C-alpha cells in the first residue's frame, strides 16, 4: 500500500504483513474536537494520499482511453451492477411526500443483508476475514436509510471502501485508472439512479453555496482529466453544446450534464459555486482549488 501512495512504479511484490487483524469500524468522530484527532490520524493521511494519487493517475486522460482492467476491477463493476439491478427490482412506492421515497429503505435493507457476501466475492479467499470490516464502508456509501438522503460523506465512504481494498492488496498500483474510470464512474451512475428513482434529499447540503448537492470527488478527478486540454477551458463547461459533445470523455462534464438535467433556471443561480469556478483561468488552478476546498469541507 505504501507503494500505492508514495512510490509510483515501485515494485509491487511487497509481501503483505503476515498478521492482519480486522475489526468492525465504529464511529469515532462525534464532536468538533474529534476532528483534530482525525486530521492527525494515519487514516486521514491514507485517505487523502489515496485521493491525490488517483488525481495524478487520471491527469490529462479521457474516460474513453485504454487502461488495464484487472479481475478485482471486473468484480467491483459486477457488484455495482447488482446494486443497479436491485433498483429496478424495487420501484418507488406511492406516497404523499414528493421526496425521500420509502422504497429506498427496502432497497437498502437488501444491501445491509448482502453486503458482506458481495464484498467476499471481490476479495480472495485468504482475505475472507477482511469482509465484515470492509463491507461497513460499502453500506455507508449509498446514503442514509433513515433520512433517505445522500451526500459527500457517503461518497467519501465509497472512496474509503476502495482505499481499504488497496490497503489489503486487492487493488494495485496499475489499477489506478480503472479505479476512477471504471469503478468510481460506475458508482456515480448507480448513485445518480438512486438519487433520481427515490428522490433522495441532499445530505448536509449547503444549498446554493455548496459545490453540488450530492458529489465532490468527480469534480476533483474530473478537473485533473482536463488539465492541459488543447481547447477545453474552465469557461467552456457552462456551454451546453460543449457539455453535450464531450461529457462521455470527462467526468467533470458528466456531472454538469446531470445537474442541468435535474435543475431548472439559470446555471449561475442554481450552481453558483460552479459558475464562479468557470471563471478560473486554468484547469490546474481549478484542481488545486477544489482539493483545498475538499480538505476544508
Domains of the chain by range and CATH? 42-90+99-202 (no CATH), 216-296 (1.20.120.1150)
Residue 294: CB atoms within 10 Å: 17
232, pLDDT greater than 90:
yes
243 vs 3, which has greater pLDDT? 243
- In 3-state terms, what secondary structure has residue 294? helix
Question: What is residue 2's predicted lDDT score, i.e. its pLDDT?
Answer: 43
From residue 48, give the alpha-carbon distance in Å to each of 34, 227, 243, 251. 18, 20, 29, 20
For residue 243, give the nearest of 229, 255, 231, 230 by alpha carbon.
Answer: 255
Read off the pTM: 0.93
Cell of 74: 471486473
pLDDT confidence bin for 19, thresholds 50/70/90: low
pLDDT digit string, tens, across residues 27-47: 999 999 999 999 999 999 999
Cell of 279: 471563471
pLDDT digit string, tens, across residues 240-256: 999 999 999 999 999 99
Amino acid at each position: 500500500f505504501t507503494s500505492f501512495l508514495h512510490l509510483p512504479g515501485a515494485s509491487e511484490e511487497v509481501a503483505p504483513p503476515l498478521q492482519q487483524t480486522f475489526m468492525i469500524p465504529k464511529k469515532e468522530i462525534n464532536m468538533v474536537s474529534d476532528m483534530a484527532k482525525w486530521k492527525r490520524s494515519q487514516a486521514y493521511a491514507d485517505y487523502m494520499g489515496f485521493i491525490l494519487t488517483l488525481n495524478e493517475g487520471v491527469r490529462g486522460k479521457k474516460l474513453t482511453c485504454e487502461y488495464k482492467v484487472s479481475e478485482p476491477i471486473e468484480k467491483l463493476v459486477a457488484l455495482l451492477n447488482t446494486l443497479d439491478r436491485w433498483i429496478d427490482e424495487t420501484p418507488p412506492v406511492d406516497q404523499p411526500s414528493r421526496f425521500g421515497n420509502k422504497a429506498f429503505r427496502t432497497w437498502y435493507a437488501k444491501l445491509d443483508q448482502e453486503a458482506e457476501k458481495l464484498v467476499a466475492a471481490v476479495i480472495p479467499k485468504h482475505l475472507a476475514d477482511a469482509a465484515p470490516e470492509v463491507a461497513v464502508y460499502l453500506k455507508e456509501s449509498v446514503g442514509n436509510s433513515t433520512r433517505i438522503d445522500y451526500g459527500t460523506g457517503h461518497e467519501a465512504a465509497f472512496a474509503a471502501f476502495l482505499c481499504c481494498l488497496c490497503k489489503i492488496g486487492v487493488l494495485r498500483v496499475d489499477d489506478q485508472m480503472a479505479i476512477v474510470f471504471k469503478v468510481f464512474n460506475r458508482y456515480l451512475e448507480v448513485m445518480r439512479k438512486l438519487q433520481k428513482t427515490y428522490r433522495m434529499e441532499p445530505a448536509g447540503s449547503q444549498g446554493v453555496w455548496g459545490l453540488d448537492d450530492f458529489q465532490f470527488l468527480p469534480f476533483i478527478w474530473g478537473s485533473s482529466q482536463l488539465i492541459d486540454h488543447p481547447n477545453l477551458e474552465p469557461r467552456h463547461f457552462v456551454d451546453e453544446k460543449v457539455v453535450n459533445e464531450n461529457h462521455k470523455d470527462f467526468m467533470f462534464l458528466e456531472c454538469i450534464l446531470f445537474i442541468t438535467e435535474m435543475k431548472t433556471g439559470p446555471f449561475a443561480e442554481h450552481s453558483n459555486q460552479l459558475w464562479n469556478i468557470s471563471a478560473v483561468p486554468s484547469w490546474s488552478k481549478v484542481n488545486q482549488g477544489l482539493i483545498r476546498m475538499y480538505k476544508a469541507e
